[in-house]
Structure 1
């Protein structure tokens, strides 16, 4: 049975994208990372938000374009209010339950990896996230899209299960307590 993982690279001040969803800041913080490299082999599907799917890939136009810097290939389920015709390997859906069902089915016994702050928040709020993996990059962005924002507040308890440091980032792996 698939586990649902919310994974992202974040600045030390908590932003996964700069202002207006700008992802170009990541170029200076991507590099070899054994945690990320190992994770790619265990991701069975990606559940991505519409803005992230249509967003600013720092590797656009290169062989590294796409999830995990182009190292991963598989079924992408895009949760969006404006579905488009499906593409090879990409399915557009408009409800969270449908997106999770299809992503889990596509993942088999591997991870469903969430990409995008809003879909990550929705899945956390729905109690559907099993683990959170954050790569903290050594940079302060000062503004942008936060990893998790819940207006009115919400508390999600996490248990740290692994910490790994490279020159590019420190990875923090958590299990979600329900």
Structure 2
């Protein structure tokens, strides 16, 4: 059975994107990471938020723009949105509600991971109790403002169990199971 994994790179002060969803900071911190390189083969589908799908892309302005994992992965993408476009997008399925998006993504993943992309989609998955794991790659940078890894106004405690923690020259990988 496919699991939902939220994998994300975060600044040391807890931001996954700069102000306005700016992802340009990230490219300086993408480098060889054996954990991520191995994970790519274990991902069967993506569950993507509309904002992420629409342009929050660390590869913006490069030949890898719009490509998952910088072009290192190819497969089905399910985009959660209330604004389904009239024109079909090859390889992309649009879903209007979380339950349908999760069900479609798990079926498309064929027993591999469904990789969740987008802070709001990840938050919705947590709230619905369907997110299984979180892989946070902590980059050695402070952004000071932007989109937080997990933002829940009023607070919400989500308990995690550490599955793995390791260091690569440019980051620290923290992999958790959601309890």
Bucket of the pairwise TM-score, normalised by the shorter protein: over 0.9
Deviations 1:106-137 (A, max 9, x none): 00110000000000000011000110000000
- 1:6 is aligned to 6
Q: SS of the residue aligned with 2:120?
A: helix
Q: Distance in 2 between matches of 1:23 and 1:30?
A: 12
Structure 2 residue aligned with 1:83: 84
Partner of 1:160: 162
Note the C-alpha offset of 1:158: 0.3
Q: How far apart are the structure 2 equivalents of 1:123 and 1:35?
A: 23
* Offset of residue 64 of structure 1: 2.9
What is the root-mean-square deviation in Å for CA atoms of aligned residues?
A: 1.0
Question: May I ask how many residue pairs the two structures share in their alignment?
Answer: 177
1:44 maps to what in 2? Answer: 44
Q: Give me the TM-score of the superposition, normalised by structure 2.
A: 0.96
Q: Which residue of 2 aligns with 1:69?
A: 70
Displacement of 1:61 after TM fit? 4.4
TM-score after normalising by structure 1 = 0.96
* Over 4 Å off, 4+ runs: none
Q: Structure 2: where are the runs of 5+ without partners?
A: none
Q: For the structure 1 residues 63 and 41, does the alpha-carbon distance in structure 2 shift closer, same or farther, using more than 3 Å as the test?
A: farther
Give the distance between the partners of 1:142 and 1:167, measured in 2 at CA.
23
Structure 2 CA distance for aligned equivalents of residues 118 and 70 of structure 1 = 23
